Amino acid sequence: MRVNIGEYVDNEEDVRQIDVQIDKWDTWSLDHTLALIIYPALLEFKKYKTGVPSAFIPITDPYRDYTDEEYAQAQKAWDEVVDRMIWSFEQLASGQIEDNYEKEYHERVQQGLELFGKYYRNLWT
């Protein structure tokens, strides 16, 4: 596999340079192959994220601004979700999942993967 994704462009005139080559062996254990990319990407995302998905901010009145305390609680909840995603992809990327037969462990891995799917569209902040 070879992936080269250029810098994000801010205007419609420029085109972001993207070059992705997937080799046939990359699809064997694709979950592991993708985890090798997703795990470090989530680490960087956590380090540089700048916001919180609106689903984490408990505002019942859309015309009211949230308080600093509400935002801090939302940040904490979002951080916990991102940490659970990171942990699951770390397990897959490291290959540790192959050696663990505990049901609770696999349920925890699966939970992080499901959170990744659920909040995939929120990985922009």
pLDDT 10s digits, 12-34:
788 989 999 999 999 999 999 99
Interacting residues of 43 by C-beta distance below 8 A, sequence separation 6+? 86
Distance of alpha carbon 96 from its chain centroid, rounded?
19
In-domain check, residue 107: yes
As a whole number of angstroms, the distance between CA 84 and CA 103 comes to: 17
pLDDT 10s digits, 50-95:
889 988 887 777 677 888 888 899 999 999 999 999 999 999 999 8
As a whole number of angstroms, the distance between CA 26 and CA 20 comes to: 12
Q: Which domain holds residue 60?
A: 27-122
In-domain check, residue 68: yes
Number of domains composing the chain = 1
Regarding pTM above 0.85, the answer is yes
Higher-pLDDT residue of 113 and 12 is 113
**In sequence order, what E strands does 12-107 have?**
18-21
In-domain check, residue 9: no
In-domain check, residue 4: no
In-domain check, residue 16: no
